[in-house]
Amino acid sequence: MERLRTPLFIVALVAAGLVVLLELGSTWFVGGALSIADTAATSADLGVEVPAGTSVQEPTGLALRYLALVDVIPLFTVGLMGAGLLLPDRITGRAQSVATLVGSIVLILTSIVLLIAAIAALILMVTLLLAFPFGTIAYLIAYGDFPRGQAAAVLSVLMFLKLAYAAFLVAAQPRFLQNKGLVALVLTSLIANLVVAFLHNLMPIVFVSILDAIAAIVLAIVAIIWGIVLLIGSIVGILTAIRATASIARDVDPSAVVGAAGRRRGWTP
Amino acid sequence: MMRLRIPIWSRLNRPQRILLLAALLIVVLYVMTVSSGGRDGDVDLSKPPGLIKGLGGLFGGPEAVDYADLSGSCLASGAMPPDGRLVIDGSCVLDIAPRDSDLRGLKLTGIDSVQVEAPVPFSDETSSKDLEPGDEITVSIDSDGGRVTMTCRSAGFCVVSVG
For residue range A157-188, list pLDDT tens digits in order.
999 999 999 999 988 988 888 888 899 999 99
Contact B97, A113 (CB under 8 A): no
Phi-psi region for residue A166, left (φ > 0), alpha (ψ -120 to 50) or beta? alpha
| A207/B43 touch (CB, cutoff 8 Å), yes or no | yes
The beta-carbon neighbor of A131 closest among B33, B62, B130 is B62
Contact A65, A24 (CB under 8 A): yes
Q: Which residue of B has its CA nearest to A45?
A: B44
Comparing A23-37, A166-180, A203-217, A223-237, the range with the smallest average pLDDT is: A23-37
Contact A127, B56 (CB under 8 A): yes
In percent, the amount of chain B with pLDDT more than 90 equals 25
Q: At what angle do helices A134-143 and A89-130 cross, to 10 degrees?
A: 140
The residue-averaged pLDDT of A236-265 equals 67
Residue A127, domain member (yes or no)? yes
| A201/B37 touch (CB, cutoff 8 Å), yes or no | yes
**Alpha carbon of A258: minimum distance to chain B alpha carbons (Å):** 54
β-strands B91-96, B70-71: how paired? antiparallel
pLDDT of A267: 43
Q: Which residue of A has its CA nearest to B129?
A: A48
Residue A177, domain member (yes or no)? yes
Beta-carbon contacts of A211 under 8 Å, excluding residues fewer than 6 positions away, are: A199, A200, A202, A203
| B129/A166 touch (CB, cutoff 8 Å), yes or no | no
Q: How far is CA B137 from CA A17, B54, B114, B117, B160, in A?
A: 50, 20, 12, 12, 11
Its sign, for the CA torsion B142, B144, B145, B149, is: negative
Residue A190, domain member (yes or no)? yes
| B105/A131 touch (CB, cutoff 8 Å), yes or no | yes
β-strands B103-110, B63-64: how paired? parallel
Domain around A165: 6-227
Residue A101, domain member (yes or no)? yes
> Which residue segments constitute the domains of chain B, with CATH numbers given?
6-37 (no CATH), 63-162 (2.60.120)
Contact A118, A61 (CB under 8 A): no
In percent, the amount of chain A with pLDDT more than 70 equals 84
pLDDT band at A214 (very low <50, low <70, confident <90, very high): very high
Residue A12, domain member (yes or no)? yes
What integer best gives the mean pLDDT of chain A?
Answer: 85
pLDDT of A205: 85
| A127/B103 touch (CB, cutoff 8 Å), yes or no | yes
Residue A203, domain member (yes or no)? yes
Summarize pLDDT for B19-60 with one digit per residue, the tens.
889 999 999 999 998 888 777 777 777 788 888 889 988 888
| B137/A133 touch (CB, cutoff 8 Å), yes or no | yes
The beta-carbon neighbor of B127 closest among A129, A137, A190 is A137
Tally of domains in chain A: 1
pLDDT band at A190 (very low <50, low <70, confident <90, very high): very high
Check whether A262 has a pLDDT greater than 50: no
pLDDT band at B5 (very low <50, low <70, confident <90, very high): low
pLDDT band at B129 (very low <50, low <70, confident <90, very high): confident
pLDDT band at A114 (very low <50, low <70, confident <90, very high): very high
- Residues shown for chain B: 163
A-chain CB neighbours of B53 within 8 Å are 130
For chain B, the distance separating the N- and C-terminal CA atoms, rounded to the nearest angstrom, is: 79
Q: How far is CA B66 from CA A100, B2, B87, in A?
A: 50, 80, 20
| A134/B138 touch (CB, cutoff 8 Å), yes or no | yes
Residue A37's closest CA among A153, A135, A137, A152? Answer: A137
| A130/B137 touch (CB, cutoff 8 Å), yes or no | no
For testing contact with chain A, the best of B13, B24, B34 (most A CBs within 10 A): B34
pLDDT of B1: 54
Q: Which residue of B has its CA nearest to A214?
A: B55
Give the SS3 label for residue B122.
Answer: coil
Q: How many helices (H) and strands (E) does chain B have?
A: 2, 10
| B61/A127 touch (CB, cutoff 8 Å), yes or no | yes
pLDDT band at A62 (very low <50, low <70, confident <90, very high): very high
Higher pLDDT, A178 or A47: A178
DSSP A138-189: HHHHHHSS--HHHHHHHHHHHHHHHHHHHHHHHHH-GGGGG-HHHHHHHHHH
**Alpha carbon of B1: minimum distance to chain A alpha carbons (Å):** 32
**Alpha carbon of A199: minimum distance to chain B alpha carbons (Å):** 9
pLDDT of A17: 96
Comparing A233-242, A259-268, B95-104, the range with the smallest average pLDDT is: A259-268
**Alpha carbon of B38: minimum distance to chain A alpha carbons (Å):** 4
Check whether A122 has a pLDDT greater than 90: yes
| A132/B137 touch (CB, cutoff 8 Å), yes or no | yes
Residue A179, domain member (yes or no)? yes
What integer best gives the mean pLDDT of chain B?
Answer: 86
Cα separation, B66 vs A263, in Å, equals: 89
For testing contact with chain B, the best of A127, A154, A156 (most B CBs within 10 A): A127
pLDDT band at A75 (very low <50, low <70, confident <90, very high): very high
Cα separation, B115 vs A48, in Å, equals: 10
Q: Which residue of A has its CA nearest to B141?
A: A135
pLDDT of A138: 87
Cα separation, B45 vs A42, in Å, equals: 9
**Alpha carbon of B138: minimum distance to chain A alpha carbons (Å):** 6
Residue A256, domain member (yes or no)? no
pLDDT band at B14 (very low <50, low <70, confident <90, very high): confident
A-chain CB neighbours of B128 within 8 Å are 48-49
pLDDT band at B151 (very low <50, low <70, confident <90, very high): very high
pLDDT of A92: 77
pLDDT band at A229 (very low <50, low <70, confident <90, very high): very high
A-chain CB neighbours of B102 within 8 Å are 124, 127
Cα separation, A144 vs A138, in Å, equals: 9
Check whether A268 has a pLDDT greater than 50: no
The residue-averaged pLDDT of A6-18 equals 94
Chains A, B: CB contacts within 8 A come to: 153
| B125/A136 touch (CB, cutoff 8 Å), yes or no | no
The beta-carbon neighbor of B33 closest among A123, A197, A203 is A197
Higher pLDDT, B17 or A157: A157
CA R_g for chain A: 26
Cα separation, A236 vs A101, in Å, equals: 10
